[in-house]
């Protein structure tokens, strides 16, 4: 075996020459041992940002980052499945999807994250449930997955630690927005969960990280190609994020929204995306014969209460209350001011600046301005009027949950400004494209 010379390896990437798989593995392994210096990591991420990497090299990079920490192994009587979403506003699909898949015979060991930028985070929504331990240790996490079928917690330092180091350096060196690096970063963490199948929800629109379809499609294609190349059956859908997915945006308000969903009071768009993703997961995992069969199974576990039961057991197993679904108001924090934000003109909702709406949640205190900020779980919006709603002057655009009158003024104005009223509304498809769908 020849001696690894990091300078030579970096020169190859800088010059667009594909490096060997072994060199990629050695370079990434050196992040954990300290043999690869921060300067070399900085040079690496910038060179990849500028020159890109080929498919085989991205697969090798993804697996090397995955292998920088623990990779979970499961020995269960059903497929191990998960979903990744690129994030949006009012996107509480994960809270429904994990329990649905478990109720259908799959296992979901979901590692999720905090809100990023204007988008909400699954972890923050679970943190709104008193007692729920998003930092559960490995034993509790594994036991919950095995006994209940799903558990949703935050990233532990043991999973893909090289990604954490690389991400911090990417942030500091203007090299976050590189498709190969984003792909390796997202997938290394998901693949460390030891999955048999993965579905991706790539959001597109004013509330998504990817605003336009071409960028969303490029990311979806990259993620699906590399995940399949790394040996995990993966499909994806590109979905509309030009308005909030649920009629609520915040943390406790989104938990209430999914409890209503389990009780049968369902937002149509949230339901459709959840059913579509779950049906694809069931097909990937061999738990459904085709999309129609998968959809029927998903609807059944919503209607017969099995998905709600899994959710309740998961919450209790991770330290939350036993009766959250029966008595949400006993546990979920309520904001002192809850009031309607009314329209100042008349028309049909033709567009919503969803990024602005997500930013208004941050202004209320429901998201972070800096990474270590404390979140106010009670605040946010619900009763959010969707695109296509006919609005008379004085009608409700949304209901605000706020801590102070100043917050009502500032975030209420942002919400009003986010709404575009005109004399017609576009018919935006909710599921814009399916890629490599198993269904």
Return the active site residues.
82-85, 122, 170, 185, 189-190
Kindly tell me which residue out of 175, 185, 257, 437 binds ligand URA, with binding defined by CB under 6 A.
185
d(CA 299, CA 278) in angstroms, rounded, equals 10
Burial 102-136 (b: 16+ CB within 10 A, else e): bbbbbbbbbbbebbeebbbbbbbbbbbbeebbbeb
Taking the complex as a whole, the smallest distance from the CB of residue 272 to ligand URA amounts, in Å, to 25
CB-nearer residue toward ligand URA: 41 or 402: 41
d(CA 330, CA 315) in angstroms, rounded, equals 15
What's the token pair of residue 158? 């043991």
CB-nearer residue toward ligand URA: 185 or 359: 185
Taking the complex as a whole, the smallest distance from the CB of residue 185 to ligand URA amounts, in Å, to 3
CB-nearer residue toward ligand URA: 182 or 279: 182
d(CA 284, CA 370) in angstroms, rounded, equals 38
Q: Does 226 bind ligand URA (CB under 6 A)?
A: no
Among 31-39, 128-136, 179-187, 285-293, the segment contacting ligand URA (CB under 6 A): 179-187
CB-nearer residue toward ligand URA: 47 or 402: 47
d(CA 342, CA 90) in angstroms, rounded, equals 20
Kindly tell me which residue out of 182, 220, 379, 425 binds ligand URA, with binding defined by CB under 6 A.
182
Residue 54 DSSP code: -
Q: 135 and 157 in contact (C-beta within 8 Å)?
A: no
β-pair type (419-422, 347-352): antiparallel
DSSP string over 273-298: HHHHHHHHHHHHTTSSSSHHHHHHHH
Q: Does 46 bind ligand URA (CB under 6 A)?
A: no
C-beta nearest to ligand URA: residue: 185
Taking the complex as a whole, the smallest distance from the CB of residue 186 to ligand URA amounts, in Å, to 5
Q: Does 94 bind ligand URA (CB under 6 A)?
A: no
Q: Does 186 bind ligand URA (CB under 6 A)?
A: yes
Taking the complex as a whole, the smallest distance from the CB of residue 18 to ligand URA amounts, in Å, to 22
Among 32-40, 56-64, 178-186, 391-399, the segment contacting ligand URA (CB under 6 A): 178-186
The region, left, alpha or beta by phi > 0 then psi within -120 to 50, assigned to residue 389 is beta
Q: Rule CB under 6 A: which of 152-171 touch ligand URA?
A: none
Taking the complex as a whole, the smallest distance from the CB of residue 26 to ligand URA amounts, in Å, to 22
Taking the complex as a whole, the smallest distance from the CB of residue 184 to ligand URA amounts, in Å, to 8
Among 22-30, 180-188, 222-230, 288-296, the segment contacting ligand URA (CB under 6 A): 180-188
Burial of 345 by CB count in 10 Å (0-12 exposed, 13-18 middle, 19+ buried)? exposed
Phi then psi dihedrals of residue 438, to 5 deg? -75, -10
> Would you tell me the crossing angle of helices 161-172 and 55-66 to the nearest 10 degrees?
120
Taking the complex as a whole, the smallest distance from the CB of residue 176 to ligand URA amounts, in Å, to 6
Which of 302, 248, 253, 247 lies closest to 274 in space, CA to CA? 302
CB-nearer residue toward ligand URA: 182 or 397: 182
Among 4-12, 48-56, 182-190, 419-427, the segment contacting ligand URA (CB under 6 A): 182-190
Name the residues that contact ligand URA, by CB under 6 A.
Answer: 182, 185-186
């Amino acid at each position: 075996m020849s001696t690894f010379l990091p300078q030579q390896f970096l020169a190859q990437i800088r010059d667009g020459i594909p490096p060997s798989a072994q060199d990629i593995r050695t370079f990434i392994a050196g992040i954990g041992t300290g043999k690869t210096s921060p300067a070399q990591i900085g040079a690496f991420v910038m060179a990849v940002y500028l020159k890109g990497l080929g498919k085989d090299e991205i697969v090798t990079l993804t697996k090397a980052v995955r292998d920088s920490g623990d990779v979970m192994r499961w020995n269960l009587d059903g497929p191990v499945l998960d979903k990744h979403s690129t994030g949006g506003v009012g996107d509480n699909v994960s809270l429904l999807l994990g329990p649905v898949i478990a109720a259908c015979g799959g296992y979901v060991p979901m590692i999720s994250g905090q809100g990023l930028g204007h988008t909400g985070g699954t972890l923050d929504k679970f943190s709104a449930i008193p007692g729920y331990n998003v930092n559960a240790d490995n034993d509790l996490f594994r036991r919950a997955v095995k006994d209940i079928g799903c558990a949703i917690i935050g990233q532990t330092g043991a999973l893909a630690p090289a990604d954490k180091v690389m991400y911090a350096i990417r942030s500091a060196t203007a090299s976050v927005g590189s498709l190969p690096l984003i792909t390796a970063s997202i997938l290394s963490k998901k693949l460390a969960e030891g999955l048999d199948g993965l579905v991706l929800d790539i959001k597109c629109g004013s509330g998504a990280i990817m605003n336009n379809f071409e960028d969303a499609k490029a990311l979806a294609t990259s993620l699906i190609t590399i995940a399949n190349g790394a040996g995990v059956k993966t499909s994806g859908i590109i979905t509309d994020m030009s308005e909030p997915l649920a009629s609520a945006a915040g943390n406790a308000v989104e938990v209430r929204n999914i409890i209503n969903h389990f009780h049968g009071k369902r937002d149509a768009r949230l339901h459709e995306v959840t059913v579509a993703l779950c049906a694809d997961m069931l097909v990937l995992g061999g738990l459904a014969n085709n999309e129609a069969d998968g959809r029927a199974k998903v609807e059944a576990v919503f209607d017969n209460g099995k998905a709600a039961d899994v959710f309740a057991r998961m919450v209790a197993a991770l330290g939350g209350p036993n009766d959250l679904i029966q008595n949400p108001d006993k546990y979920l924090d309520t904001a002192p001011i809850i009031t309607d934000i009314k329209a100042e003109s008349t028309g049909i909702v033709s567009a919503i600046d969803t990024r602005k709406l997500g930013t208004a949640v941050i202004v209320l205190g429901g998201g972070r301005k800096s990474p270590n900020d404390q979140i106010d779980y009670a605040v946010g919006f619900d009763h959010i009027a969707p695109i296509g709603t006919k609005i008379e002057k004085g009608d409700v655009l949304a209901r605000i949950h706020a801590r102070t009158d100043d917050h009502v003024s500032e975030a209420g104005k942002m919400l009003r400004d986010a709404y575009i009223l005109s004399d017609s509304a576009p018919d935006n498809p909710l599921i814009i494209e399916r890629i490599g769908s198993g269904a």
